[in-house]
Amino acid sequence: MPEHRSPLTSAYWREAAAALRKPRLLAVAALFLALCVAISSFFIPLVNNLRVYFTFVPKALCAAVCGPVAALVFGLADDLLGVMIHPSGAFFFGYTVSAMLGMVIYALGLFRRKITILRLALTKLAVNLLVNVGLGALWSSMIYGKAYLFYAGSSLVKNLILWPAEVILLAVFFRLLGPTMERAKLIPRQEWARLRRREKKSGGDL
């Protein structure tokens, strides 16, 4: 497995593009895609069309393994399959764009990178603010007719409140599944022992 790389290098993008030609990685992506579709029907409804989903966990794991190029395809397939299997109103392509962009952000933050709690936190924050709040409020405004700031304000509050819990969930699943993915040469070598030490120092809270 190649060492950690930066998205600013050509080697990073060569590896990202090559993921679409590797049956093993495509099989992993298909597994995560099936998991996303399966759990997408489970959510916590809030107010003003806001819902709490848990699909961000398999999405982040898949992005860390497959990279930003495959993430575009994953996001497209995830949204289209979700609409077909769990229809909830008319199809709107804006949400497809959000699904694809969110996957790319996860991949840029986690693919071939050293996975730390700080990196997970910043990556999830970027998805929450740019995709869930920024684009999500735009799409809701276009569909339902109310002002952009009306949806952006409520979405911002929800995403900031949920952000710490989402980071904890990501850290837990990466700590549990990360060593196995590392041994399977799906991700570069990490420092899982350090992640565990930080958890102990914080009294069990990641």
Report pLDDT digits (tens) over 128-176. Answer: 999 999 999 999 999 988 899 999 998 999 899 889 989 999 999 999 9
One-letter amino acid for residue 171 of the chain: A
Distance CA(162)–CA(192), nearest Å, equals 25
**Terminal alpha carbon distance of the chain:** 27
pLDDT of residue 192: 66
**pLDDT over 70 (residue 196):** no
Question: Does residue 72 register a pLDDT over 90?
Answer: yes
In a 3-state reduction of DSSP, which class is residue 43?
Answer: strand
Q: Higher model confidence: residue 150 or residue 4?
A: 150
Query: Average pLDDT of 41-61?
Result: 77
Provide the pLDDT for residue 50: 60
pTM across the whole model: 0.87
Q: Which of 50-59, 141-150, 159-168, 192-201 has the lowest mean pLDDT?
A: 192-201
Query: Rounded to an integer, what is the distance from CA 1 to the centroid of its chain?
Result: 22
pLDDT of residue 194: 54
- Does the pLDDT value for residue 195 go beyond 90? no
> Mean pLDDT across the chain, nearest whole number?
87
Candidate CATH numbers 1.10.150.120, 1.10.1760.20, 3.40.50.300, 3.90.1150.10; the one for domain 10-201 = 1.10.1760.20
Q: Which of 107, 109, 105, 168 is nearest to 135 (CA)?
A: 105
The domain locations on the chain are 10-201
Q: Given pLDDT bands bounded at 50, 70 and 90, which one contains residue 40?
A: confident
**pLDDT at residue 206, as a whole number:** 38
E strands, 104-175, are none
Q: In this predicted structure, what is the pLDDT of residue 204?
A: 44
Of residues 1 and 132, more confidence is placed in 132
